[in-house]
Structure formats: C-alpha cells, structure tokens
C-alpha cells in the first residue's frame, strides 16, 4: 500500500524534490554571497554568483519540466474528447466552437469562479444568510 501511495505521489508531482533542492541550494548560495559581500571577498562573491546562475538555470529547467508534467493530463483529456466531439454547438446562438476552446474557457471559468466564491462565502458567513452564519456560541 505504501508503494502505491509513493507512486501516486510521484506521478502527481514528480519534480518536487528537485525543485525544492535547487531552491534550497540557491538560498544557501545567496546567503554565502551576502557573507562574501560583508567580509569584502570579491573573488568569493564572483564565484558564488557564477554558481548561483548555474543553480538558477537548473531550478528554472526543473520548474518548466514540472509544468509540462502538470499540463500533460489536460492535453490528453482534450485529445481524447476531441476524438469523439471535434466541436460543440452553443445552443442559443448556434455557434460551433472547437473543443479545445471550450475546454480552455471552461477551465479558466472554473478557476476564476473559485476566486469569486471565497469572498462570497465569507460575506454570507458574516451576514448569517441561508443559515450558514456562525452560531451564537462562537460569536463571543
């Protein structure tokens, strides 16, 4: 069961350890670079800056690869859906829309909706509308 959990964790976010390692290494080099500036060692500062550049580009590469891994399932979903339905028709205006555009718009609307739901939920909770307000015991 533990192996399955580890596999799911790896498939969900395969480059987390690499990204975290590069981030920590970059922070360590930045701290050492600040110490080199404080003590006035120009050669150490220069070599640390060169190594920081290398670590930064490795970090950037790991983040890009991680982003591609996160994007791949969505591309697969769009491809599978487009095999069955290459385009959809919007009923009231009779427009034909490519499935990729419809998927992209629905994905963006979902995330924008999440941004708007949080403040609306907090307002409803504060006002006590629809029975979702805090109980009298918690208002004290």
DSSP 116-128: HHHHHHHHHHHHT
Q: Select from 69, 84, 99 the last residue of a domain.
A: 84
76 and 28 belong to one structural domain: yes
Residues 77 and 89 in one domain: no
The answer on 55 and 6 residing in a single domain is: yes
* pLDDT for res 137: 45
In this structure, are 78 and 96 located in the same domain?
Answer: no
Query: Could you tell me if 47 and 31 are in contact, meaning their C-beta atoms sit under 8 angstroms apart?
Result: no
Cα–Cα nearest to 103, from 122, 86, 120, 125: 86
Domain count, the chain: 2
Window from 14-18, 39-43, 127-131 with minimum mean pLDDT: 127-131
* Together in a domain, 54 and 99: no
pLDDT in tens, 66-125: 888 888 888 888 889 888 888 888 888 888 888 888 888 888 898 888 888 888 888 877
Mean pLDDT of the chain: 83
pLDDT at 65 (0 to 100): 87
> Which whole number is the average pLDDT over 50-67?
91
Q: Which pLDDT does position 91 carry in this prediction?
A: 82
Q: pTM score > 0.85 for this model?
A: no
Q: Supply the range of the domain harboring residue 134.
A: 85-140
């Amino acid at each position: 069961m533990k192996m399955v959990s580890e596999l799911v964790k790896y498939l969900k976010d395969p480059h987390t350890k690499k990204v975290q390692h590069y981030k920590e290494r970059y922070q360590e080099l930045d701290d050492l670079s600040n110490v080199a500036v404080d003590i006035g060692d120009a050669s150490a500062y220069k070599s640390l800056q060169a190594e920081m550049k290398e670590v930064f580009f490795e970090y950037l590469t790991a983040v890009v690869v991680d982003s591609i891994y996160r994007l791949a399932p969505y591309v697969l979903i769009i491809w599978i859906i487009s095999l069955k339905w290459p385009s959809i028709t919007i009923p009231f205006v009779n427009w034909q829309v490519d499935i990729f555009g419809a998927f992209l718009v629905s994905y963006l609307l979902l995330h924008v909706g999440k941004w708007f739901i949080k403040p609306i939920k907090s307002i409803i909770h504060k006002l006590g509308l629809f029975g979702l307000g805090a109980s009298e015991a918690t208002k004290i």
